Amino acid sequence: MIKTVKADGKAEYEYFKKVRERSTETDRDVTAVVTDIIDNVRKNGDKAVREYTVKFDGKAPECFEVSREEIEKSVSGCDSEFIGVLERAAANIKDFHARQLQQSWLTTKDNGVIMGQRVRGLARVGLYVPGGTAAYPSSVLMNAIPAKIAGVGELIMVTPPMKDGRPNPNIMAAAYVAGVDRVFLMGGAQAVAALAYGTESVPKVDKIVGPGNIFVATAKKLVYGTVDIDMIAGPSEILVLADDSANPKFLAADLMSQAEHDRLASAILVTTSQRIAEETVGELERQIETLSRKDIIDESLTNYGAIIICDDMDKAVETANSLAPEHLEVCCENPMEYVGKLDNAGSVFLGNYSPEPLGDYFAGPNHVLPTSGTARFFSPLSVDSFIKKSSFIYYTESALRADKEDIERFAKTEGLTAHANSISVRF
């Protein structure tokens, strides 16, 4: 079960090192396999995708693309109450992300110069959605809705077929609610390659987003440059910051909510209270017995979980910022006072009644977040992830004449006389 660490400026950082190293390098064997898959799909298109689909998923559909009629049929077969949940979650996600939308702008100067920036959605984006035991309709909403708000021209979703070769109805329902344009039944590295290079049936995209296993993540990494990608996501992680006012029952439940994702997931409690630490351990031992993914949770907490006891909240905040967790809960008496102090986190959950699953499914902010300490410099998926910007400049002859000598001197200083000539030749 979970270990307890007394923060002394060394012990906690030794633990952090172990957490960071759990997913730092992709296995070379995986890279070799994925490289072969990408090369095969790039060369042989649908034929290669079909062979891999049969090999890895058991059965390939007669037609990769799911028709609009089949999508609607899948939706009609879903639980109507779940459809309602999807629609309410989608409304919250739309409301939050609509506020992120940027506008093109233009400015003029007295000398006749006009400059500005054009903002527009990408032409075509590919969304990877896992299947099998990791089929998460919430990921469809979180990826597709910001893309549609950004003005993406066409959103293409790929997802593995079930063992019978048919689509997962809950995934189809989420795609329908989120406004996905086209759906193809294929998964794994071969689906990423199909999106990146195009096949006879799958159009080439400009960017690929969405979660996946190590083969999918490796494929996205390898095709980056040919297309853009969202991020290379590591195992899930949560850090819970708690003072003596926190409820150990809540703390234990929230730690396990992330530990159940993956045996490599990391769940950490940082607290100033020895009592809270001890009672949380007791709650973990009690609550885990009732949970379906008990074995995964236990292994995750044993290998990568920790309760870190700090002398004061300043040290606790410093510890949280150092780890830069994907999810950061603040279970303290006055949680709002820490908002301006917590600089490194994918998403922050404030107070005892803002647990991490609230963000996973329903509140509105995106649940696609930077992991493995990358919250120091990466941001959550957003509308910005699906736009591109270009600037434009218009100078009059007199305006260019006024700046002529400065530009020429700059160019000549850099040894680029053709640049200088491009200016001087006009006068």
Q: What is the pLDDT of residues 159-177, one digit of tens each?
A: 998 888 888 999 999 999 9
Same domain? 179 vs 248 = no
Give the least confident one: 14-18, 100-104, 368-372, 419-423.
14-18
Residue 39 lies in a domain: yes
Residues 220 and 342 in one domain: no
Say if 372 falls within a structural domain: no
CA atoms of 53 and 394, how far apart (whole Å): 52
Measure CA 206 to chain center.
17
Residues 407 and 342 placed together within one structural domain of the fold: no
- Are 61 and 99 contained in the same domain? yes
Report d(CA 255, CA 281) in Å as an integer: 11
Residues 214 and 259 in one domain: no
- Mean per-residue pLDDT, 225-237: 92
pLDDT value at position 262?
A: 87
272 CB-near residues (< 8 Å, 6+ apart): 242, 243, 244, 309, 310, 311, 312, 313, 316
326 is an active site residue: yes
Is 387 a member of any domain?
Answer: no
Catalytic residue among 97, 327, 356, 367: 327
Q: For residue 326, give the nearest of 281, 366, 280 by alpha carbon.
A: 366
Domain final residue pick, 229, 247, 280: 229
CATH number of the structural domain spanning residue 186 = 3.40.50.1980
Is residue 282 domain-shared with residue 414, that is, in the same domain?
no
Q: How many domains does the chain have?
A: 3
Same domain, 181 and 276: no
Catalytic residue among 237, 283, 326, 356: 326
In whole numbers, what is the pLDDT of the chain averaged over residues?
A: 94
Considering the chain, what percentage of its residues have pLDDT values greater than 70? Answer: 98
Same domain, residue pair 348 and 245: yes
Asked if residue 401 belongs to a domain, the reply is yes
Domain of 285?
A: 3-23+235-363
Q: Compute the distance between CA of residue 404 and CA of residue 394 in angstroms, rounded to an integer.
A: 15
pLDDT digits (tens, 9 = 90+) for 104-114: 999 999 999 99
Q: Is 114 within a domain? A: no
Whole-number Cα distances in Å, 129 to 168, 193, 348, 366 = 11, 14, 25, 16
Closest CA to 179 of 151, 209, 207: 151
What is the C-alpha to C-alpha distance for residues 213 and 234, in angstroms, rounded to an integer?
Answer: 10
- In the three-class reduction of DSSP (H, G, I as helix; E, B as strand; rest coil), residue 267 is classed as strand
Tell whether the torsion through CA atoms of 61, 67, 71 and 73 is positive or negative: negative
Residue-level pLDDT at 25: 54
Same domain, 203 and 133: yes
Question: Would you say residue 368 lies in a domain?
Answer: no
- Closest Cα partner for 209 from 148, 264, 167? 148
Q: What is the pTM of this model?
A: 0.93
The one-letter amino acid code at 276 reads I
What confidence tens digit (pLDDT) does each residue in 274-304 have? 999 999 999 999 999 999 999 999 999 999 9
More confident of the two residues 47 and 26: 47
Per-residue confidence (pLDDT) for residue 24, from 0 to 100:
55
Please determine, for residue 132, whether its predicted confidence score (pLDDT) is greater than 80: no
In this structure, the answer to whether residues 254 and 317 fall within a common structural domain is yes
Angle between helix 294-304 and 248-259 (nearest 10): 100
Name the least confident of 26-30, 253-257, 379-383: 26-30
The H or E element containing residue 142 is helix 137-150
R_g of the chain, CA atoms, integer Å: 25
Residue 308 included in any domain: yes
Q: Does residue 26 surpass a pLDDT of 80?
A: no
Query: Of 318, 341, 363, which residue constitutes the final position of a domain?
Result: 363
**Any idea which residue has 């001890």 for tokens?**
278
DSSP bridge pairs for 128: 158
Q: Assess whether 33 and 149 both reside in one domain.
A: yes
Q: Are residues 96 and 239 in the same domain?
A: no
Compute the distance between CA of residue 191 and CA of residue 171 in angstroms, rounded to an integer.
16
User: Do the domain assignments include residue 115?
Assistant: no
| Distance in angstroms (rounded) separating the CA atoms of residues 383 and 206 | 15
Element (H, E) at 155: strand 154-159
The confidence score (pLDDT) of residue 17 equals: 82
Confidence of residue 14 (pLDDT cuts 50, 70, 90): confident
